[in-house]
Amino acid sequence: MGSEAQIILNILFGAVGLGYFVYGKNQKAAMPFISGIGLMVVPYLFSNSWLLAGTGLMLLGLPWFFRW
């Protein structure tokens, strides 16, 4: 089982990813849609909390830097 930090990060990134996914789908915006899918999938790929946090923060910032 994961640590408390990893569980909190999983819930946080999954919830924000779902929000990005729904927003991107409704607005037909590619970057939030892709970022949302990434945020929902990444917690399943990494078991290291620091790597999860870094990747999640990068995916959170992508729609702000690359507006399509």
Half-sphere exposure of 5 (CA within 13 A, CB side): 8
Q: Which residues of the chain are modeled with pLDDT < 50?
A: 1
The residue segments making up the domain with residue 23 are 4-65
Torsion, Cα 52 9 23 45, to 10 degrees, reads 40
* Model pLDDT, residue 5: 86
Q: pTM value?
A: 0.85
Q: Give CA–CA dist 27/37, Å, rounded.
A: 15
Chain centroid, CA 50 distance in Å: 14
Q: What are residue 28's phi and psi, to 5 degrees?
A: 55, 45
Say how many domains are in the chain.
Answer: 1
